[in-house]
Chain A
């Protein structure tokens, strides 16, 4: 292609400068402005917004978000790996329809699907009606951590299964046979051959589940009843309820730092640098 075709990207460079870079800089700037001034144009720089974060309530909110996100990611991995494995063992034709069946729910509005869980798990919900039918004691799952984690697993499981499935499908079957010929048992075949080869897929999956899980505010709002706040809810409240953009920006910066840090950490597990074709570093 001609050198001059690079000009085709110039409009996009202008666009991303305005709509991605400037907003990110705005968050950074606001996080450093003293909220007491009221007038952002006559601002005074301060780190008070960050200092405010280091009080027990906010630290525990972040810890809680991380805790729930880690459990959700772990549950997705433990449920998703065998699932990806089972799908990968099917006939290729069947595999593509199974994967399609797997992706299809994602085309239906996420809030609607999450909301449907309320009618299943609620006090007079379907689950309790079924339990009652069998004369079993009703359960009260709604508005608990378990409900939030369930909602996350439900929404984010495909993000775990798809990359792992791709990784498993790429594993050379001859390697498994070779390991067996050399005397490895099932467990050894998995731990020494299959697992290391599918690690890049696992890492991509973990990142893709962990990122939305740690920052979502919809799922805890709907299934946790809003009483259990995660960091996403806290940020939302700063902007829409209390109107404290300065503290909200500081919280956003902290969340971004945590996310970049966790991506960087995950990438270190992946020595070959194969994971996440979707990730730049």
Chain B
């Protein structure tokens, strides 16, 4: 009994630790004054200000558009690449997989400076394109890593059977292989989106002037003094995440019931 009570307490304390900063962001988005340490009264002032804050809106726009494009591109490329890697000879496969791991294990800062040097050497103009290329670079490995195990777990005779029945290799991939590995593809896409939307270091080094994302905006704000509009934005993001988690949870429960 004591044990159970103790473990409940521990769980509660750890969740308090994880959610305290988020609660602070939410509570102080409704604060009247600029202070983020002392409560002075309720107001929606910072939400109004957010509607007029074009800098913040641009940052949000770039964050979402880069994450969406990077996720879409790396999911498609990563999936087809994995199907290809699966059939490579042992040596080439080992080589591709090892290089594929490099972005996963390398520190962000090393990847960031490496890409910056590459883009500078190629004399590319720093901006949206360089940032997107960088995001695709670190997103594809996660897709490959979650799709490949699914391919290994798949019955290899399935695709053969499809082709025996007259499907072209492309049809076999589209109609048999992809539905079979779909959970891995989805997991990879979610991973890629999470990595992209949360990235700071690599974007910071590859975006150049003019293009920002949310992380870069917060970082530069931290130096000049933060504006509480960012709290308002965080609150909106938290509600958005909460709603989508609830919806997807409900959908999966419904699906289970139907089965």
Contact = CB atoms under 8 A, between A and B. Distances in A.
B105 A107 contact: no
Contact of A27 (B28, B35, B110, B156): B110
A279 to B, nearest CB: 7
B1 interface: no
Interface centre among A12, A110, A217 (most CB of B within 10 A): A12
A44 to B, nearest CB: 19
Contacts of B25: 112-113, 116
Name A's interface SS.
helix
Contacts of B22: 105, 108, 113, 116
Contacts of B187: none
Please classify how large the interface on chain B is, using the bins under 10, 10 to 19, 20 to 34, 35 or more.
Answer: 35 or more
A83 B107 contact: no
Interface stretch (A53-61, A120-128, A167-175, A196-204): A120-128
Interface in A219-242: 222, 232, 235-236, 239-240
Contacts, number: 225
Nearest to B230: A112
Contact of A259 (B21, B105, B145, B172): B105
A198 B95 CA distance: 30
Interface in A70-108: 79, 82-83, 86-87, 89, 98, 100-102, 104-108
B117 A211 contact: no
Given A7-B84, A101-B15, A116-B21, A280 B98 contact: yes
A113 B102 contact: no
Contacts of A116: 21-22, 24-25
A230 to B, nearest CB: 10
Contacts of A280: 97-98, 101
30 contacts: A1-B160, A1-B177, A5-B83, A9-B87, A10-B84, A15-B140, A16-B96, A89-B7, A104-B242, A105-B18, A111-B214, A111-B218, A112-B214, A114-B21, A119-B28, A120-B24, A125-B37, A154-B18, A211-B105, A211-B107, A212-B107, A215-B107, A216-B108, A239-B205, A245-B117, A248-B113, A252-B113, A255-B110, A280-B98, A280-B101
Given A18-B118, A26-B114, 20 more contacts: A2-B159, A12-B77, A20-B99, A23-B111, A23-B117, A24-B114, A104-B241, A104-B242, A106-B198, A107-B194, A107-B197, A111-B218, A111-B219, A215-B108, A215-B109, A216-B109, A218-B200, A239-B205, A256-B106, A259-B105
